Structure 1
Amino acid sequence: MNTSTDWFASWFDTPYYHILYKNRDQKEARLFMANLVAFLKLKKNDRVLDLACGKGRHSLFLNSLGFDTIGADLSQNSVDYANEFANETLRFVQRDMRDPLNLKYDAIFNLFTSFGYFENDADDLKVLNNIKNGLKSEESIAVIDFLNVKKAVKTLVKKETIIRNDLKFGIKRKFENNFIVKEITLATENETHKFFERIKYLDLEKIEQYLKTVGLNLKHTFGDYDLQAYDEENSNRLILILSK
């Protein structure tokens, strides 16, 4: 496996990814979405895109608030699962976020650190350019919910063990070659599996360079899901509100 470029294609499409992260806080996700929707003043029936939607937890909640919602994800397994919940105003498609969008949206959401996967800056810029081109008008909004990399590196837990569904996941983390790298190993009855997650060290200054390159405007930054002010030293998240 090419750990630098293909990790997301192989890891996200396994059942083990969803087992490891099954304890994600649904209440927190809903609160974040409710806070965002109120802040952005989105209108009922606005068309929204959940880009890199996984199994669709944010998409379902957005749809429940009255939005015409499309979820897009690289993992066909996740898309197939999410489509079990599809309706007239909620649908899911398989898509690489580096591919141009074929619809225009009132809002585009890229959530839960679903950015910064790629080795080359050109691929990150493709994603941002697609987001820009996918916005319906200058009043339309994009949201990128990213990691505060400075704090993440400073507080990196180098090694831990997590047990889910009687599976023991060994987790190792390191900061290497400008990436925060998580190595995940687990042994099943038949074999030992090894997966990687790699998130590029993109601080606010670097992201602002990206945005300038593609012509996106940074309107607001927040540091957590309660939409408190971003603090480079102490915030857990870097949440970006963008327009074209």
Structure 2
Amino acid sequence: MQKEDFNWFTSWFDSPYYHVLYKDRDYEEAGTFIKKLTSFLDLKNNATVLDLACGKGRHSKHLATLGYNVTGVDLSPNSIKAAKAFETKNLKFEIHDMCIAYSGKFDAIFNLFTSFGYFEAEIDNLRTIKAIRDSLKPNGFGIIDFLNVEFLKQHLVPSEQKTVDGIIFQIKRKIENNFIIKEISFEADGKNYFYTEKVKALTLNNFKKYFEEAGVTLKKTFGNYQLDTFDPASSERLILIFGL
């Protein structure tokens, strides 16, 4: 059986089956969210933007169409290879580790769709916040779009079966040792596969601690992609905007 490497995200995000399972993500919703968010931030047309952990560039492409100078970075070589097909004069993609500050300074750095909290070591989450800090311009914004742990605990679906492109994905979910764990098993191309997604169950208070240690200031929180007020009990998302 094919299993993930020590860092689960290294192999799973680079697998073609990751993109099969999540192919139904709402591209239109992503575009609407980006427009609302950049309007709130009042980013100018020529602003420099870093899309951190960009995957195949879904959000990066939206940002570029709004006139920003966008760099999308991700650890997955296959994702970046696919994203590079969409490069333009104001959109480029590179392989990069989010724990390390990217060269240059940006007006905004986006970390979207729960692309945070993957690391086993707590220090790596803080390193990522510091890396964002070090790549921001003095008046720049960091944006993290995370899940709301309290809401998820109340609405966790323990198991489900999902068929995509003829592949039957068996999915199990649990919360264990302060990680939200999703176990994914399936058969494809004559082989059995098993992958695990692990995301740290981080709350608003956890992020506030990271921000304090990194020397950045939390400026605003939202609870969904419509930018409604964050409520710990009812909000699906935890969207954080912070800066120097």
Q: TM-score range by the shorter chain?
A: over 0.9
1:228 aligns with 2:228: yes
Task: Look up the match of 1:169.
Answer: 169
Tell me which amino acid in the other structure corresponds to 2:195.
F
| 1:74-115 deviation digits (Å, cap 9, x = unpaired) | 101010111001011100000110122111100000000000
Q: In 2, distance between residues paired with 1:193 and 1:237? A: 30
Q: In 1, distance between residues paired with 2:140 and 2:7? A: 32
Seen in structure 2, the aligned counterparts of structure 1 residues 76 and 2 have a Cα distance that, compared at 3 Å, is closer
Size of the aligned set, in residue pairs, is 242
TM-score (normalised: structure 1):
0.97
Query: Larger deviation: 182-191 or 234-243?
Result: 182-191
Counting only pairs closer than 5 Å after superposition, residues 138-177 of structure 1 correspond to structure 2 as: 139-177=139-177
Q: In 2, distance between residues paired with 1:207 and 1:234? A: 19
Task: Look up the match of 1:37.
Answer: 38
SS of alignment partner, residue 137 of structure 2:
coil
Seen in structure 2, the aligned counterparts of structure 1 residues 193 and 2 have a Cα distance that, compared at 3 Å, is closer
SS of alignment partner, residue 136 of structure 1:
strand
Tell me which amino acid in the other structure corresponds to 1:119.
E
Q: In 2, distance between residues paired with 1:27 and 1:188? A: 29
SS of alignment partner, residue 71 of structure 1:
strand
| 1:13-68 deviation digits (Å, cap 9, x = unpaired) | 00000000000011110010000011000001111000000000100010000000
Task: Look up the match of 2:110.
Answer: 109
Contact residue 73 and residue 93 of structure 2 kept, 8 A: yes
Q: In 2, distance between residues paired with 1:189 and 1:73? A: 27
SS of alignment partner, residue 235 of structure 2:
coil
Q: In 1, distance between residues paired with 2:202 and 2:4? A: 22
Runs of 4+ residues deviating >6 angstroms: none
Task: Look up the match of 1:53.
Answer: 54
Contact residue 141 and residue 241 of structure 2 kept, 8 A: yes
Tell me how far 1:151 sits from its aligned partner: 1.0
TM-score (normalised: structure 2):
0.97
SS of alignment partner, residue 94 of structure 2:
strand
Unaligned runs of 5+ in 2: none
Seen in structure 2, the aligned counterparts of structure 1 residues 85 and 189 have a Cα distance that, compared at 3 Å, is closer
Contact residue 153 and residue 180 of structure 1 kept, 8 A: no
Contact residue 71 and residue 93 of structure 1 kept, 8 A: yes
Unaligned runs of 5+ in 1: none
RMSD, aligned CA: 1.0
Tell me which amino acid in the other structure corresponds to 1:98.
C
Task: Look up the match of 2:190.
Answer: 190
Tell me how far 1:189 sits from its aligned partner: 3.9
| 1:171-221 deviation digits (Å, cap 9, x = unpaired) | 000000000000000012421100011010100011111110111100000
Task: Look up the match of 1:121.
Answer: 122
Tell me which amino acid in the other structure corresponds to 1:161.
Q
Tell me how far 1:2 sits from its aligned partner: 6.4
